[in-house]
């Protein structure tokens, strides 16, 4: 049986971490594509030399030629420019929209059957644009943000309750930005919803409110600490989980930026919602009933995504 092929468009901090994870988990052969001269080949060679030590078999190739992504089963896109301190995700819009055009054209020509996971910011707008430029079916193009945002929420909750992260589930909806909507009512410690834990006196509403706020600003907190670039370990780990659910047809229920066609009252927009990812890509969008407060926050988040899309359409008349 032929190995799977995973193509990484963008071989920077997240791209390199993705390559390391995909190869060391033996998910398949890995192609690192980047416009930077030499760098993707250097990372591929470095990782290939880790293989004999760690004991994994994966062919790794660095390239600047889209022809090398031909036949990819999964493509993960991080190409673009990351946030610098003080820069909002939206500042990235103009630069990264042009990058999505080039990437979309490359995918359309060389790997139209792939499952594509977009990570590039501003996420909800970039995944929409990438889908448009690539022309792939909507169920085969998805955005990664929700797994990361809910992982951040889970980490903070595990610290608050002093329990294993494994026993914390968390629910985050909406766009990947300051308007994202962490939903405590659907977040649990071993199945016990957060509001019940507050009633049990295990924590306070104030503490949960502070955690929700910290989750919303989770990306910015790391940007400020790093001083140069944005988070990469957790974003890469999150995208790998989505890729595995597709490749192994695991049908995991994950929050992801998916194309909505009326669900949650939203049409033709990519927004973070719970989905099932299996062999056909996004196989189902799960529509849950939200409290008035959560729905209100979700609507604010959707409006922020809509605004970004309008800006994209203003920048590129083909959209
Ligand atoms: O949750 C999420 N979705 C995110 C998103 C969490 C963290 C970071 N997020 C975004 O991911 C971030 O704002 C960026 O837009 C991407 C990638 O972040 P990374 O930290 O990996 O950025 P790097 O290290 O700058 O890598 C980007 C690479 C770099 O090597 C460039 O040379 C390359 O992209 N690049 C290109 N590759 C291919 N084709 C084109 N046109 C191109 N332009 C730049």
- Cβ count near 50 (within 10 Å): 14
What length does the chain have?
319
Q: Residue 90: its pLDDT value, please?
A: 66
Those residues whose C-beta lies under 8 Å from the C-beta of residue 217, and which sit 6 or more positions away, are 178
Confidence of residue 175 (pLDDT cuts 50, 70, 90): confident
Q: Residue 56: its pLDDT value, please?
A: 97
Backbone φ, ψ for residue 257 (5° rounding): -80, 110
List pLDDT tens digits, range 72-117. Answer: 999 999 999 876 677 666 677 889 999 999 999 999 999 999 999 9
CB 68 less than 6 A from any atom of ligand 1: no
List pLDDT tens digits, range 196-254. Answer: 999 999 999 999 999 999 999 999 999 999 988 899 999 999 999 999 999 999 999 99
CB 15 less than 6 A from any atom of ligand 1: yes
Three-state DSSP at 143 gives strand
Ligand 1, pocket-test mutation among 9, 119, 178, most atoms within 8 A of CB: 119
Residue pair 60/23 in contact (Cβ under 8 Å)? The answer is yes
List pLDDT tens digits, range 108-149. Answer: 999 999 999 999 999 999 999 999 999 999 999 999 999 999
- Look at residues 199, 187, 123 and name the one whose alpha carbon lies nearest to residue 156: 187
Q: How far is the CA of 230 from the centre of ligand 1 (A)?
A: 9
């Amino acid at each position: 049986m032929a190995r799977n092929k995973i193509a990484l468009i963008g071989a920077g901090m997240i791209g390199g971490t993705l390559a390391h994870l995909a190869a060391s988990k033996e998910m398949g052969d890995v192609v690192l594509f980047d416009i930077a001269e030499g760098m993707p080949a250097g990372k591929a060679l470095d990782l290939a030399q880790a293989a004999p030590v760690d004991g994994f078999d994966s062919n790794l190739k660095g390239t600047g030629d889209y022809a090398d992504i031909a036949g990819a089963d999964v493509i993960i896109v991080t190409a673009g420019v990351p946030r610098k301190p003080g820069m909002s995700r939206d500042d990235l819009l103009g630069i990264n929209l042009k990058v999505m055009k080039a990437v979309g054209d490359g995918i359309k020509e060389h790997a139209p059957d792939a499952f594509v996971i977009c990570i590039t910011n501003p996420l909800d707008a970039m995944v929409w644009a990438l889908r448009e430029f690539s022309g792939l079916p909507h169920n085969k193009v998805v955005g990664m943000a929700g797994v990361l945002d809910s992982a951040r929420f889970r980490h903070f909750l595990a610290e608050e309750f002093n329990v294993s992260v494994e026993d914390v589930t968390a629910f985050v909806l909406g766009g990947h930005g300051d308007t994202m909507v962490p939903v405590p009512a659907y977040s649990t410690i071993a199945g016990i919803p957060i509001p019940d834990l507050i009633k049990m006196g295990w924590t306070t509403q104030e503490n949960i409110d502070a955690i929700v706020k910290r989750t919303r600003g989770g990306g910015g907190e790391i940007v400020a600490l790093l001083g140069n670039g944005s988070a990469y370990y957790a974003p890469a780990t999150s995208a790998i989980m989505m890729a595995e659910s597709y490749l192994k047809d695991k049908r995991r229920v994950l929050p992801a930026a998916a194309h909505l066609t009326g669900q949650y009252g939203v049409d033709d927009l990519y927004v973070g919602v719970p989905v099932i990812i299996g062999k056909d890509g996004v196989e189902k969008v799960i529509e849950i009933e939200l409290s008035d407060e959560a729905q209100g926050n979700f609507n604010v988040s959707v409006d922020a995504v809509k605004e970004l899309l309008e800006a994209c359409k203003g920048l590129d008349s083909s959209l």
